[in-house]
């Protein structure tokens, strides 16, 4: 049976959908211009996913020396817990391997248990913590956890 989830390269015409999804997913969403600027860079990797052909999520990462940093990932609330983020991250992981990179890094709020579970399930390991790194809508400060997936 063909997979319900498909991942493709993100291009300019999908960016408005990313902006809307970012708005419902994060307390401090990015503006369209920030997405556009990132997408222009040669070092950026960006994928979007469809679930039954409907835009359902995206991920953006950037190569820095011999590692890939995941900058953001979000899945439409209507399509969460169906494997969309797993599919996006596995594609990114294969890309990093094909480029001979050493590891993938990601930062996540200490309060974001869903994302932490996701990364741990894919083999990421907690490597550090940044105190009071994120500012929530109500100005409350929250720590960042640093996760890394190292290729053998
Ligand atoms: C975190 C997020 C990307 C997960 O996307 P998703 O497509 O629902 O994730 P998947 O379906 O691939 O789930 C894979 C694993 O992640 C974990 N997970 C996902 N959602 C979870 C939830 N609500 N509660 C607990 N664990 C969860 C589970 O371990 C899950 O494996 P399982 O299905 O075997 O239990 C999504 O919830 C999201 O967009 N959140 C808002 C934006 C965000 O927090 N991005 C990450 C910033 S670092």
The pLDDT confidence band at residue 152, using thresholds 50, 70 and 90, is confident
Q: How far apart are CA 33 and CA 64, in angstroms?
A: 21
Q: What is the pLDDT of residues 19-29, one digit of tens each?
A: 999 999 998 89
Q: Domains in the chain, ordered, with CATH?
A: 5-150 (3.40.630.30)
**How far is it, in rounded angstroms, from Cα 19 to Cα 89?**
19
How long a stretch of residues is the chain?
152
What would the pLDDT profile of 34-70 be if each residue is shown by its tens digit? 999 999 999 999 999 999 999 999 999 999 999 999 9
For the CA of 21, the nearest atom of ligand 1: 39
- Any atom of ligand 1 within 6 Å of the Cβ of 60: no
DSSP 64: E
Residue 139 scores a pLDDT above 90: no
| Residue-level pLDDT at 1 | 66
- Give burial (CB, 10 Å; 0-12/13-18/19+) of 114: exposed
Ligand 1 centroid from CA 10, angstroms: 20
Given this model, what pLDDT does residue 136 score?
Answer: 82
Report the percentage of the chain scoring pLDDT > 90: 92
Residue 2 has pLDDT above 80, yes or no: no
Task: Indicate if ligand 1 lies below 6 Å from the C-beta of 84.
Answer: yes
Would you say the CB of residue 69 lies under 6 angstroms from ligand 1? no
- State the Cα–Cα distance between residues 86 and 93, nearest whole angstrom: 10
Q: How confident is the model at residue 27, as a pLDDT?
A: 87
User: Does ligand 1 lie within 6 Å of residue 74's CB atom?
Assistant: yes
Q: How far apart, in whole angstroms, are the C-alpha atoms of residue 133 and residue 114?
A: 19
| Cα-trace Rg, the chain | 15
3-state secondary structure at position 12: helix
* Residue 45 to residue 62: CA distance in whole angstroms: 6
């Amino acid at each position: 049976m063909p997979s319900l989830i498909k991942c493709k390269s993100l291009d300019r015409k999908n960016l408005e959908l990313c902006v809307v999804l970012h708005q419902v997913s994060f307390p401090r969403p990015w503006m369209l211009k920030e997405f556009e600027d990132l997408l222009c860079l040669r070092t950026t990797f960006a994928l979007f996913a469809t679930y039954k052909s409907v835009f359902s999520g995206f991920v953006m990462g950037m190569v820095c020396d011999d590692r890939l940093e995941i900058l953001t990932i979000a899945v439409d609330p209507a399509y969460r817990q169906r494997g969309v983020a797993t599919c996006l991250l596995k594609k990114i992981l294969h890309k990093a391997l094909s480029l001979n990179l050493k590891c993938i890094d990601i930062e996540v709020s200490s309060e974001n248990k869903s994302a932490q579970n996701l990364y741990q399930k894919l083999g990421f390991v907690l490597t550090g913590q940044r105190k009071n790194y994120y500012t929530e809508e109500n100005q409350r400060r929250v720590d960042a956890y640093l996760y890394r997936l190292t290729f053998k």
